[in-house]
Chain A
Amino acid sequence: MTEHAQPPAPVTTGAALVQLGDVPLADLLAGAGDGVLAHVLGALAAESEPGRPGDVSAFESSF
């Protein structure tokens, strides 16, 4: 069984349900290709950069 097959019930919002494990993110990114998962991993890596606002959409307030 993989470690993320049955994640513990999170006690707060924002808890990861899929564990990336102990492989450096840069290595995961390097092997991730150019699909959707690679794009999201890249965004995760960039999240910690200073000056990046939490970019929650206000567009979706509308139809």
Chain B
Amino acid sequence: MPADASPSAAPARPAPDAPSAAAPRVRQLVLKVHSRCNLACDYCYVYRHADQGWRDRPRVIAPATVDRVADRLAAHVARHGTDRVRVVLHGGEPLLAGAAVLDRTVRTLRTAMPTGATLDVAMQTNGVLLDEAMLALCHTHGIDIGVSLDGDRTANDRYRRHADGRGSFTEVAAALRLLARPEHRARYAGLLCTVDLANDPVVVYRSLREFDPPLLDLLLPHGNWTAPPPGRRPGDPATPYADWLIAVFDTWYRETPRRTGIRLFESLIALLLGGRSGTQALGATDPDIMTIETDGTIEGTDTLKTTTASVMRTGLDVFRHTFDEALGHPSLAGRPTGIAALAPACRTCPVVGACGGGLYAHRFRDGAGFAHPSVYCADLFRLIRHVQSVVAADVDALRRTVVTPPAGATGAGRAGAPVPTGR
């Protein structure tokens, strides 16, 4: 019997045969509860990129599959003594699964959790079906909600449209106004926006900010050396994406008090100061995200769908394989990580400490794998250098203020333990 085949109500401490604390483990599970979408966005990786596996999968995850996922996750958490794990309800569009399926899914996952382990649940939705009834369910289960929106009406509706061509902005904006109300705000995780060079960056930022999100995710469009992103010619020294992002950064960074978080930028600042990244796009994070499709198939991070199907597909599923068995696959923790995974040019790059090679999927070249700089290398380099110069100047000014306090001030500049400057 596999080591984590039998879930139990074990406390959240390592089992006797537990792997070391440094061993790979699943910290976030992306659970596909519905494989179809009520939008037909032009750029969607699920339906428009290399992996067309969605065509063969059930529309809705079956109760028996959820049961098995819950068992596998609970056993994995118990074996590793993990005290906290997150499940992201995903699709397709997860709200298409309906309230009953979502309710049963979360109840099943929570019931199976070992004593002492916390299960955080989140959902990434396009927002079209987000209404009071769904929000009530999210409050019942503590489901945090991330909504995809690309900016104002013009920006959003360029790609995020229904199959009949209608834009989605009106419906999503209504949902966001609901979500931002005081009674629902606790469930508001943030907005996810894909960068489109055709849109004015500051207009996009200000449009998103109008919905008062606690956090913004700005995503670079998925692409690689074989299938480059829009406007990004591999090897071209032009940096259109850095220019776009820097315009947003400069606007956002100078707002005082801080109005919202932008995960990409805050991760970059943290990395520059020796901290950790909160995004897979920077900092060579560990591959600790696993994806479960509606048929129980186990896959690695969803972004690999933009490369080739064979790279992504593990051939494993929750009915026959444990999570620890799956983690050994090259699309999960079985791939090279850290500095060893990077191209030679990256290893000696002066910004590799912050860049980390960029998102793994963006390094891909057909027939040659992932040992390349990111297809966004020039953009990442310019963005990192810009943010570094801004932050370094501000840290310098802050240190001078602290070490030499204004006349009459007290309490600053005391001797103390050095600030840690690295991980």
Report A-chain residues with C-beta under 8 Å of the C-beta of B67.
none
Given A5-B392, A7-B350, A35-B255, also A60-B217 (CB < 8 A) = yes
B291 x A13 contact (CB < 8 A): no
Q: Is A22 part of the contact surface with B, judged by Cβ < 8 Å?
A: yes
Q: Say which residue of B271, B302, B384, B401 sits within 8 Å of A14 (CB atoms).
A: B271
Q: Is B219 part of the contact surface with A, judged by Cβ < 8 Å?
A: yes
Query: Digit string of B399-423 for contact with A (CB within 8 Å is 1, else 0)?
Result: 1011100000001111011111111
Report A-chain residues with C-beta under 8 Å of the C-beta of B418.
21-22
Shortest CB-to-CB span from A39 to chain B, Å, is: 5
Shortest CB-to-CB span from A3 to chain B, Å, is: 9
A44 x B190 contact (CB < 8 A): no
Report A-chain residues with C-beta under 8 Å of the C-beta of B30.
58, 61
Report B-chain residues with C-beta under 8 Å of the C-beta of A22.
418-419
A18 x B419 contact (CB < 8 A): no
Q: Is B187 part of the contact surface with A, judged by Cβ < 8 Å?
A: no
Q: Is B88 part of the contact surface with A, judged by Cβ < 8 Å?
A: yes
From B16-24, B50-58, B71-79, B275-283, give the one contacting chain A.
B275-283
Report B-chain residues with C-beta under 8 Å of the C-beta of A9.
348-350, 352
Shortest CB-to-CB span from B349 to chain A, Å, is: 8
Q: Is B180 part of the contact surface with A, judged by Cβ < 8 Å?
A: no
Complex-state Cα separation, A56 to B281, whole angstroms:
10
Q: Name A13's closest neighbour in chain B (CB-CB).
A: B284
B277 x A56 contact (CB < 8 A): yes
Report A-chain residues with C-beta under 8 Å of the C-beta of B182.
none
Report B-chain residues with C-beta under 8 Å of the C-beta of A24.
414, 416-417, 419
Given A17-B354, A20-B419, also A44-B275 (CB < 8 A) = yes
Complex-state Cα separation, A12 to B195, whole angstroms:
29
A13 x B421 contact (CB < 8 A): no
Chain B interface, number of residues (Cβ within 8 angstroms): 91
Shortest CB-to-CB span from A19 to chain B, Å, is: 5
Report B-chain residues with C-beta under 8 Å of the C-beta of A60.
192, 217, 219, 263, 279-281
Contact residue range for chain A? 35 or more
Q: Is B28 part of the contact surface with A, judged by Cβ < 8 Å?
A: yes
In chain B, positions 84-123 with a C-beta closer than 8 Å to chain A are 84, 86, 88, 90, 122
Most buried by B among A11, A30, A36, A43: A36
Complex-state Cα separation, A22 to B402, whole angstroms:
11
Report B-chain residues with C-beta under 8 Å of the C-beta of A51.
83-84
Complex-state Cα separation, A61 to B303, whole angstroms:
6
Report B-chain residues with C-beta under 8 Å of the C-beta of A4.
392, 395-396
Report A-chain residues with C-beta under 8 Å of the C-beta of B256.
33-35
Q: Is B301 part of the contact surface with A, judged by Cβ < 8 Å?
A: yes
Q: Is B338 part of the contact surface with A, judged by Cβ < 8 Å?
A: yes
Query: Digit string of A36-62 for contact with B (CB within 8 Å is 1, else 0)?
Result: 111111011001000101111111111
Report A-chain residues with C-beta under 8 Å of the C-beta of B274.
14-16, 20, 44
Shortest CB-to-CB span from B344 to chain A, Å, is: 13
B280 x A43 contact (CB < 8 A): no
A12 x B339 contact (CB < 8 A): yes
B398 x A57 contact (CB < 8 A): no
A37 x B391 contact (CB < 8 A): yes
Q: Say which residue of A27, A34, A40 sits within 8 Å of B270 (CB atoms).
A: A40
In chain B, positions 157-196 with a C-beta closer than 8 Å to chain A are 189-190, 192, 194
B41 x A20 contact (CB < 8 A): no
Shortest CB-to-CB span from B83 to chain A, Å, is: 6
Q: Name B288's closest neighbour in chain A (CB-CB).
A: A56
Complex-state Cα separation, A56 to B12, whole angstroms:
21
Given A2-B396, A27-B413, A34-B256, also A59-B88 (CB < 8 A) = yes
Q: Is B370 part of the contact surface with A, judged by Cβ < 8 Å?
A: no
Complex-state Cα separation, A13 to B271, whole angstroms:
9
Report A-chain residues with C-beta under 8 Å of the C-beta of B281.
60
Report A-chain residues with C-beta under 8 Å of the C-beta of B278.
55-57
Q: Say which residue of A5, A10, A32, A40 sits within 8 Å of B269 (CB atoms).
A: A40
Q: Name A50's closest neighbour in chain B (CB-CB).
A: B83
Report B-chain residues with C-beta under 8 Å of the C-beta of A21.
399, 418-419, 421
Shortest CB-to-CB span from B129 to chain A, Å, is: 16
Query: Digit string of B351-391 for contact with A (CB within 8 Å is 1, else 0)?
Result: 11110110000000000000000000000000010001001
Q: List 15 A-B contacts (CB under 8 A).
A: A15-B423, A17-B353, A20-B399, A22-B419, A27-B412, A28-B395, A31-B402, A34-B257, A40-B275, A41-B273, A43-B270, A44-B275, A56-B277, A56-B286, A62-B302
